[in-house]
Amino acid sequence: MSDLDKPVMLELDTVSLNFRSSKGTFDHGVHHVLDAVSFKLYENETLGIIGRNGVGKTTILRIMAGILAPTSGSVTMMPGKTSSLLSIGLGFRADLSGRDNALLAAMLHGSSRKKAKTYLEEIKDFSELGDSFEEPVKTYSSGMRSRLGFTTALLTHVDILLIDEVLSVGDAQFKKKAERAMKERIGGNQTVVFVSHMEAQIQALCDRALWIESGRIMSEGDAASVLRDYNAFINEGRTAHKKGSKKPWPDRRLDKLQEKLALSDEQIVEIRKIRDQGGGRKDIRAVLDEGQQQQWQEARRRRKRRRGKKKRSKGGKVPGLRVT
């Protein structure tokens, strides 16, 4: 059966999302996150969405999940169907235990309280948290939080599963376990939308794919052909750079910045525009909220301390110290 013969589970029709910005870099103070995006999601298919950071991939998932409302256009879901956004740490509160957070997150993913309680022991076993499952999440490492968030979301049973970059969680052993579990979930009668930067995962898991750039669909079709189009675009951007030149704030650095500071899609788009127009660190910091700026400063202080320790261990000079 072709896609056209399958029931349509969810449809986006000319969906746009805009927000006001004080920055003069946008269109009369309006930033266009999504621009007339249209596509259909068919029953039991796995649709992959690929693209650079800040182009609107996560925003599309949030609109599909009903978390955000589009500025214009429409989102139509088949009557009686449910959707859930599988995103690490959804609903987590640092003062609550892993068990309580798992219960809360499962309910936010669409389960009733009674049903959510039946998942808890399975979540505890799969996440490999042991006794820490009963401890406050604020005592967890980032890897422990990731394992708890992934496991809680994975065990939620909904008609449409929206997956946002969750197969990169935890250590190497848990990543393999998570990917196997995700493949089993996708292999069943499950409709899935899967956002990832990992082309191999898109190729292996997805029936169809979309490439998003600047809030628009640039290519749509089978995963292999969409990935070819995306790679041609990426490689063209690389060759346009002079050999040996150093691009300020490369995309891999922005990826790390977004992950560490929990930047929104809107923030990363604005930062990329500032970077491409030659803006510096001060301009980029202006995009961050107060908490993110504090995290940035603390990270810089930690880097300076590490450099100082490294120099001292090698017997070199440390700025600010006088060698006699």
Q: Quick one: pLDDT at residue 22? A: 56
Nearest to 251 by CA among 230, 214, 276: 276
Confidence of residue 64 (pLDDT cuts 50, 70, 90): very high
Q: Using DSSP bridges, classify how beta strands 8-20 and 72-77 pair: parallel, antiparallel or unpaired.
A: antiparallel
Q: Quick one: pLDDT at residue 159? A: 83
Mean confidence (pLDDT) of the chain: 80
CB 64 within 8 Å of CB 87: no
Q: Quick one: pLDDT at residue 21? A: 62
Residue 235 or residue 218, greater confidence: 218
Nearest to 215 by CA among 65, 40, 12, 46: 12
In this predicted structure, the answer to whether residue 266 has a pLDDT above a threshold of 80 is: no
**Least trusted range by pLDDT, from 42-56, 267-281, 310-324:** 310-324
Beta strands in the chain (DSSP E): 8-20, 30-42, 46-50, 72-77, 83-86, 160-164, 191-195, 208-213, 216-222
In this predicted structure, the answer to whether residue 38 has a pLDDT above a threshold of 50 is: yes
CB 193 within 8 Å of CB 163: yes
Q: Full-prediction pTM beyond 0.85?
A: no
Q: Quick one: pLDDT at residue 118? A: 93
In this predicted structure, the answer to whether residue 321 has a pLDDT above a threshold of 50 is: no
What tens digit of pLDDT does each residue of 118-172 get? 999 999 999 999 999 999 999 988 778 878 877 887 787 778 888 887 665 556 7
Residue 54 or residue 17, greater confidence: 17
In this predicted structure, the answer to whether residue 314 has a pLDDT above a threshold of 90 is: no
Report the pLDDT averaged over residues 44-60.
Answer: 89
Tokens at 110, concatenated: 């669409």
Confidence of residue 97 (pLDDT cuts 50, 70, 90): very high
Tokens at 222, concatenated: 């089978």
Q: Quick one: pLDDT at residue 88? A: 60
Q: Quick one: pLDDT at residue 117? A: 93
Report the pLDDT averaged over residues 250-259.
Answer: 75
Residue 94 or residue 269, greater confidence: 94
Residue 10 or residue 233, greater confidence: 10
Report the pLDDT averaged over residues 197-226.
Answer: 89
